[in-house]
């Protein structure tokens, strides 16, 4: 059984061997720039861990795992264009460092490269892997569209939000696990259980991100708190607060999210005070814990020795305890 450290090392080794030093430079340099920023490499790690858990050879899953990570980074490049975002992972976004047209074209190329890697899945399961990847890719786009819709939509419910993050974030974690499981030899029932495990981990993971944006230690988080508050992003915290707020508290909350402030800290501090009054941090943590517990129930039902699940359990536990 491979350790998390060994799996992450294998992923980085493979990324280091991909050569984007070719022409036209304007097309490939942004791809290298994006992929060299690292990130958590969460999705390929889950893919390889699932393969390993079912007794498969992770070398047979490495190419699809790399394809999944390239696809994930493609979505970030295009998301930054849509959001007109200046910073990603502490660095200037591709659309700002180069321009929008280059970001679109480089992103499109990344998507095509991702398909190349996906198609290197073992022949016996290639069709299944391709189908899972395609379904996942479409759902991620659906999630992004819902997220954009929410920017102007007034009547967004918590259920709407959970469905949006299921599509935009959770299904890619779940798809990564299912692809790895299938390559590893899992049967249809267990492959579906690990997919459900991934969906619930993904929901908990995104709620943790929502929480960190408001309540994290800024030094550990690597950026200032309150970005979601400043942009009026309809996160779980935002929606829960509006669901619970009454009277003057509701009026204050509405005021902060509907008035322009020269100093962002006034808005951030005002909203945080209301969140604290309504115990939004604790309620978000409860929702996270609910999805995490549900995930573990699916993992428990998978028909492999408990010892083979240990690395995956440790990995997701670390994700839930992260501070950045």
Would you place residue 222 in the very low, low, confident or very high pLDDT band (cuts 50, 70, 90)?
A: low
Helix (H, G, I), strand (E, B) or coil at 278: coil
Helix (H, G, I), strand (E, B) or coil at 87: strand
Q: What whole-number distance in Å separates Cα of residue 204 and Cα of residue 31?
A: 30
Q: Is pLDDT at 267 greater than 90 in this prediction?
A: yes
Query: pLDDT digit string (tens) for 37-54?
Result: 877 899 999 999 999 999
Greatest alpha-carbon span in the chain: 63
Query: pLDDT digit string (tens) for 172-191?
Result: 999 999 999 999 999 999 99
Outline where the chain has alpha helix (H).
4-16, 25-35, 42-53, 62-83, 94-97, 100-118, 126-150, 158-165, 171-184, 188-215, 218-221, 227-230, 236-244, 247-258, 264-277, 280-300, 310-321
CA proximity to 53, closest of 244, 312, 273: 312
Q: Is pLDDT at 246 greater than 90 in this prediction?
A: yes
Average pLDDT over residues 155-166: 98
Q: What percent of the chain has pLDDT over 70?
A: 98
Would you place residue 90 in the very low, low, confident or very high pLDDT band (cuts 50, 70, 90)?
A: confident
> Residue 241 falls within a domain, yes or no?
no
> Residue 76 falls within a domain, yes or no?
yes
CA separation, residue 60 to residues 29, 50, 152 (Å): 29, 12, 45
Residue pair 93/85 in contact by the 8 Å Cβ criterion: yes
User: How many domains does the chain fold into?
Assistant: 1
- Pair of tokens at residue 163: 């469905």
> Residue 53 falls within a domain, yes or no?
yes
Query: pLDDT digit string (tens) for 47-81?
Result: 999 999 999 999 999 999 999 999 999 999 999 99
Would you place residue 89 in the very low, low, confident or very high pLDDT band (cuts 50, 70, 90)?
A: confident
> Residue 117 falls within a domain, yes or no?
yes
Q: What is the mean pLDDT of the chain?
A: 95
Would you place residue 201 in the very low, low, confident or very high pLDDT band (cuts 50, 70, 90)?
A: very high
Would you place residue 165 in the very low, low, confident or very high pLDDT band (cuts 50, 70, 90)?
A: very high
What is the pLDDT, as a whole number, of residue 221?
56
Domain range for 31? 1-131
> Residue 40 falls within a domain, yes or no?
yes
> Residue 59 falls within a domain, yes or no?
yes
Q: What is the dihedral of CA 5, 11, 14, 18, to 10 degrees?
A: -140
The residue whose two tokens read 């390993």 is: 52
What is the pLDDT, as a whole number, of residue 101?
98
Query: pLDDT digit string (tens) for 286-296?
Result: 999 999 999 99
Query: pLDDT digit string (tens) for 95-145?
Result: 999 999 999 999 999 999 999 999 999 999 999 999 999 999 999 999 999
Average pLDDT over residues 238-260: 97
What is the pLDDT, as a whole number, of residue 39?
79
Q: CA angle, corner 285, sides to 139 and 76, nearest 5?
A: 35
Q: Is pLDDT at 239 greater than 80 in this prediction?
A: yes
Would you place residue 220 in the very low, low, confident or very high pLDDT band (cuts 50, 70, 90)?
A: low
Would you place residue 223 in the very low, low, confident or very high pLDDT band (cuts 50, 70, 90)?
A: low
Q: Is pLDDT at 21 greater than 60 in this prediction?
A: yes
CATH number at residue 4: 1.10.600.10
> Residue 176 falls within a domain, yes or no?
no
222 vs 121, residue with greater confidence: 121
> Residue 166 falls within a domain, yes or no?
no
* Residues 6 or more apart in contact with residue 17 via CB below 8 angstroms: none
């Amino acid at each position: 059984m491979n350790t998390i450290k060994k799996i992450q090392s294998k992923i980085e080794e493979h990324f280091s061997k991909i050569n984007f030093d070719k022409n036209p430079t304007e097309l490939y340099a942004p791809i290298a720039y994006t992929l060299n920023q690292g990130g958590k490499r969460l999705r390929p790690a889950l893919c390889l861990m699932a393969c390993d858990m079912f007794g498969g050879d992770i070398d047979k899953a490495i190419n699809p795992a790399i394809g999944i990570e390239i696809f994930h980074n493609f979505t970030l490049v295009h998301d930054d264009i849509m959001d007109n975002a200046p910073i990603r992972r502490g660095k200037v976004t591709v659309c700002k460092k180069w321009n929008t047209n280059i970001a679109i074209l480089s992103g499109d190329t990344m998507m095509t490269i991702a398909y190349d890697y996906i198609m290197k899945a073992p022949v016996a399961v290639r069709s299944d892997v391709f189908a899972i990847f395609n379904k996942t890719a479409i759902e991620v786009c659906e999630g992004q569209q819902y997220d954009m819709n929410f920017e102007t939509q007034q009547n967004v419910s918590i259920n709407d939000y959970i469905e949006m993050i299921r599509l935009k974030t959770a299904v890619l974690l779940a798809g990564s696990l299912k692809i790895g499981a299938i390559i590893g030899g899992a049967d249809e029932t267990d492959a579906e259980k690990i997919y459900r495990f991934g969906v619930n981990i993904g929901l908990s993971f995104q709620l943790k991100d929502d929480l960190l944006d408001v309540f994290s230690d800024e030094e550990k988080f690597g950026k200032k708190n309150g970005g979601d508050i400043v942009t009026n992003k309809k996160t779980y915290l935002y929606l829960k607060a509006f669901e619970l707020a009454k009277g003057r508290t509701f009026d204050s909350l509405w005021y902060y999210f509907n008035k322009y402030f020269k100093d962002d800290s006034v808005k951030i501090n005002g909203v945080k005070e209301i969140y604290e009054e309504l115990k939004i941090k604790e309620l978000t943590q409860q929702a996270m814990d609910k999805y995490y517990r549900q995930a573990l129930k699916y993992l428990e039902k998978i028909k492999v020795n408990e010892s083979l699940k240990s690395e995956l359990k440790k990995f997701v536990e670390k994700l839930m305890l992260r501070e950045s």
